[in-house]
């Protein structure tokens, strides 16, 4: 499934998510808030010892966790910046 016509899950930006909300007629403010919450929960889970200990291979778990953390932090940053920019326009 593509998010807002994005070709790769590795390059999904807030603009892609916003495009998906237009395609599906969902409310962008609601989706943006939910994305931020999911990013925050994901980052918290990555540092939970119980989650990390469930992985079979520590080295692979660390690599995957690093990629997930980078993506979550980037999206969270971009969504936060988007919120700041939109509030300045009001």
Per residue in 33-75, pLDDT (tens digit) is 999 999 999 998 888 877 777 777 778 778 888 888 999 999 9
Angle in degrees, CA 38, 62, 35, rounded to 5 = 10
Counting the structural domains of the chain, the total is 1
Asked if residue 65 is part of any domain, the answer here is: yes
Asked if the model's pLDDT at residue 87 lies above 60, the reply is no
Cβ contact 26:13 at 8 Å: no
pLDDT at 38: 93
How does the average pLDDT of the chain come out, rounded? 80
* Whole-prediction pTM: 0.73
Asked if residue 62 is part of any domain, the answer here is: yes
Q: What are the distances in angstroms from CA 52 to CA 40, 49, 63? A: 17, 5, 12
Asked if residue 15 is part of any domain, the answer here is: no
Asked if residue 60 is part of any domain, the answer here is: yes
pLDDT at 46: 86
Asked if residue 79 is part of any domain, the answer here is: yes
Q: Strand (E) positions, 20-82?
A: none
Other Cβ atoms closer than 10 A to 14: 20
The more confident residue out of 21 and 61 is 21
Asked if residue 47 is part of any domain, the answer here is: no
Domain that holds residue 63: 52-90
Q: Give percent of the chain above pLDDT 90.
A: 32
Asked if residue 29 is part of any domain, the answer here is: no
């Amino acid at each position: 499934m593509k998010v807002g016509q994005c070709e790769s899950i590795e390059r999904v930006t807030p603009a892609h998510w916003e495009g998906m909300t237009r395609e599906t007629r969902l409310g962008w403010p609601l989706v943006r808030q939910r994305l931020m919450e999911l990013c925050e929960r994901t980052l918290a889970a990555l540092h939970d010892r119980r989650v990390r200990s469930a992985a079979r291979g520590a080295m692979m778990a660390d690599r995957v966790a690093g990629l997930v953390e980078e993506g979550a932090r980037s999206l969270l940053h971009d969504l936060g910046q988007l919120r700041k920019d939109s509030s300045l326009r009001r």
